[in-house]
Amino acid sequence: MYLDYQSAKPVDPEVIAAMTPYMAEKFGNASSLHEVGDWSTEALDSSRRTIAHFVNAREPEEIIFTSGATEANNLAIIGYALRNKQKGKHVIISEVEHISILNIAKYLRKNGFEVSTVPVDFTGTVRLDKLEERIRPDTILISIQHANNEIGTIQPVMSIGKIAREKKIVFHVDAVASEGQIPIDVQRDFIDMLTLSSNDIYGPRGVGALYVRKGFLLNPLIIGGGQERGLRSGTEDVAAIVGFAKAAELALQYMPEESKRLRQLRDKAIKTVFETVPRSYLNGHPTNRLPNNAHFRFDFIEGESILLSFKERGIAVSTGSACSSQTLEPSHTLMSLGLLHEEAHGSLEITMGRFTREADVDTFLEALPGVVKRLRDMSPLTKTEVGM
C-alpha cells in the first residue's frame, strides 16, 4: 500500500498507451526532413502546445523540454544568472526550496554570486516582508517554489510575482510539488520561468520542462545540435515528451475532481490522527496546503522507526527524520519552521494520489495509534516528559 506519492508516482495507463507508438512505429528523429521525421516533429509540436496550455503560457515556443525538473531548475537559475551577470550578481531563494535549488545556490556562491535566503513562518509560508527586505538593486532573480514538496504549504506566488515584476526582477517558480494538484497560471501569477516534471503528473520519468517567458535570454547548459531553440541540445525523447503531454492533458481534465477527493481524504486523515494519537501535530499550513499532503509529528518517537513499523505492515510512508537520510541531518524544511531536532525526528509524511483509495487511508489510520504506542512504550522520553 503506497502513501508516498510525493517521492514517485506510477505512470498512468493512458499515458503508457499514448507513448507506445512512438517507441517502435513512429521512431523518427524530429530534426529529419523525411516523413518518418515529420511524425516526430508533429508529435513534438503538439506536445509543446499541450504543456503551454497546461501552465497558460502565451506561446508554445516558451516551453523547453528537458530531462526533468532538476535540469530545468539548473537551466533556469544557472542559465539565467550566467547570461545576466552584468546586470547584477544577487539571487534570492527561500529557505524551504527543494534540495536541487539549494545546491544550485551553493554552486552560484562558489562562482561569484551572492544568494540570500528568505525565511518562512511556522506554517512554512514565505515571509513577504522578509523577501522585500532582501531585494537589492543588483538582485537579478527570485526563485520560490509553488508549494513545498515536504510539508505541502502553498506559497503566495502571485504576491511574490507582483513584487518581482514591480522591481523588474525575474521570477522563477519550481512547480514540481504542486503541478496537477492546483492550477498553474504563469500570466496571472507574473511568473517568468517555471519548472515542471513529468512523473509528478503521472507521466514517465526522465522528462520535464522549463517555461521561459518570451524575451528572456539564458545560457544553455547542454551544447550540441541546437534543439529546443539552442537551449537544450540533444535529440528529443519524443515518446517521453508525448507521455508528458498526455499526462498534462489528463491532469487538467482530472484536477478539479481529483483534488477535491484527495482534500477530503487528507482532512479525514488529519482529523482522525488528532483524535486517536495524543501529542500529535500537523507540520505546515493547516488549510493552505497541497490536497494530497498530510505531514505529522509525534512527540517522543523517531521517524525512521515509524517508517519501518509501517514497512513491515506493507504500508509505504515517508519521514523527515535525520536517521533516514544519507547526511544524518534533519530536513532543512522542518528546521526552517523553527522545529527542534527531536521534533523533526518524529515526523511522518503521507502523500496520496490518483490511485489511493479511502480504504488505504483507513488501513493507515487504523495502524497508526498502535505503531505510535508501541514506540512510545519503548521510549525513555515518554515517562520522563509527561508520565504517559
Partner 1 sequence: MPKSTQYTLKVLDHFKNPRNVGTLEGKGVAVGRVGNPVCGDLMDIYIKVDDDGKIEDIKFKTFGCGSAVATSSMITEIAKGKTLDEAMKITRQNVADELEGLPPIKMHCSNLAADALHEAIKNFREGKKGPVELGETRFACPAGEVKNVTGLAEFVGKGVFTGYEHPEQFRDKRVLVVEFDQNSVEFALELTKVTGRVILLSPLEQLAVNDELKTQVKRSDIKHLKQAELVEVSGGSEVEKVRIHDLDEDEEYDLVVDAVVVPS
Catalytic residues: 323
Nearer to partner 1, 85 or 332 (CB): 332
Give the strand order in the sheet containing 293-298: 280-282, 293-298, 347-351
Nearer to partner 1, 237 or 342 (CB): 342
d(CA 311, CA 314): 5
d(CA 153, CA 170): 23
d(CA 274, CA 301): 16
Measured distance between the N- and C-terminal CA atoms of the chain, rounded to whole angstroms? 31
Q: Shortest gap between Cβ of 331 and partner 1 (angstroms)?
A: 13
Polymer length in residues for the chain: 388
Interface contacts to partner 1, rule CB under 8 A: 119, 121-122, 130, 133-134, 300-302, 304-305, 307-308, 311-312, 321-326, 328, 335-338, 340-343, 345, 377-381, 384-387
| DSSP assigned state of 284 | S
Residue 262 grid coordinates: 484527495
Q: What type of residue sits at position 146?
A: H
Backbone angles phi, psi at 139, to 5 degrees: -75, 125
* Residue whose C-alpha is closest to residue 246's, from 66, 15, 1, 45: 15
Nearer to partner 1, 223 or 378 (CB): 378
d(CA 49, CA 148): 27
d(CA 316, CA 149): 17
d(CA 325, CA 302): 13
Q: Shortest gap between Cβ of 160 and partner 1 (angstroms)?
A: 17
Q: Shortest gap between Cβ of 21 and partner 1 (angstroms)?
A: 37
Nearer to partner 1, 86 or 326 (CB): 326
Nearer to partner 1, 1 or 255 (CB): 1
Q: Shortest gap between Cβ of 315 and partner 1 (angstroms)?
A: 14
3-class secondary structure, 226: coil
Q: Shortest gap between Cβ of 293 and partner 1 (angstroms)?
A: 19
The label of the residue with cell 528546521 reads: 335
Q: Shortest gap between Cβ of 280 and partner 1 (angstroms)?
A: 12
Contacts of residue 113, defined as CB under 8 A and 6 or more positions apart, other chains included, come to 81, 85, 89, 90, 91
Q: Shortest gap between Cβ of 122 and partner 1 (angstroms)?
A: 5
Give the helix ranges, DSSP H, for the chain.
13-19, 35-54, 69-74, 80-83, 99-110, 128-134, 157-166, 238-276, 303-311, 332-336, 341-345, 358-378, 380-386
